[in-house]
Amino acid sequence: MRSPHRTSPGPGTPSLAPLVRDSSLVWVASGVVGLSFGAISVAGGLPVWVPVVMSLLVYAGSAQFSAVGVLLAGGGPFAAAATGLLLNTRTAAFSLAVADLLGPGRAARFLGAHLVTDETVAFALAQPDPARRRAAFWVSGLGLFAVWNAGVAAGALAGTALGDTAAYGLDAAFPAVLVALVLPALREDTRLRRPAALGALLALAATPFVPAGLPVLLALAALPLYGLHGKGGAAR
């Protein structure tokens, strides 16, 4: 019979089992989205290595979908990279929020910064104490990274067998995923709705006249409206 001192975590050491259990649903969802990303990328004409390497080095779901969507629409690498970078700028603020959770040393900080996502930050900050926040960040972050990349690799390999994406309606998959990514933010922050609507109108109006990829960038011209709306709300 084991002693309870040998089965219980030490003082200040949170049990990992509940963190793994709570993170698992997010991992499953991420794997499914990664699978679709890899499959659609390759079925759209990109080499298998592109979504795989992008997922390892960039590791930013919405930015990856946007960048590949621009490429598949005929846009150039610059427009694709600019779109992805602009979408991913929010992680700078996220990194500040979890900076104290990454631990000492350059290696830990470099790896931790790479694992910063909406999900890992939200999961970590929801914990009640610093020890659990640190453990939650690393458990969710490492698991999410592994599952996402495994899903992308599996989807990319499967995508080679899909053939013509138009036959499956996959040409509409990227816009559908991007809309799904945006909707939660629009529900939570009503101030975003007006800038988002104006940005969508600008992008639609510019689409017939400019190269693929640029309409997305032009839509960012509506962002100042968010700032003005925020100041007005604060004044009230």
**What average pLDDT does this structure show over 200-229?**
72
Quick one: pLDDT at residue 146?
94
In this prediction, residue 6 has a pLDDT band, given cuts at 50, 70 and 90, of: very low
Mean pLDDT of the chain: 75
Percent of the chain with pLDDT over 90: 8
Question: pLDDT tens digit string along 49-81?
Answer: 989 999 998 888 777 887 888 887 777 777 777
Domain spans in the chain, listed from the N-terminal domain onward? 20-188, 189-236
Instruction: Give the C-alpha separation, 174 to 65, whole Å.
Output: 7
pLDDT of residue 142: 92
What is the tens place of the pLDDT at every residue in 218-230? Answer: 777 777 776 665 5
State the Cα–Cα distance between residues 183 and 176, nearest whole angstrom.
Answer: 11
**Residue 185 scores a pLDDT above 70:** no
Q: Determine the Cα–Cα distance for residues 223 and 226; give it in Å rounded to an integer.
A: 5
Kindly report whether the global pTM for this prediction surpasses the value 0.85. Answer: no
> For 89, phi and psi rounded to 5 degrees?
-65, -25
Pairwise CA distance, residues 106 & 130, whole Å: 20
Q: Kindly report, residue by residue over 87-115, the tens digit of the pLDDT.
A: 676 666 667 777 777 777 788 888 888 88
Residue 3 has pLDDT above 70, yes or no: no
Cα 190 to Cα 173, 182, 185, 187, distances in angstroms: 26, 12, 8, 6
Asked if the model's pLDDT at residue 149 lies above 90, the reply is yes
Record the tokens describing residue 169, joined without a space: 């309606």
Q: Provide mean pLDDT across the span 121-143.
A: 85
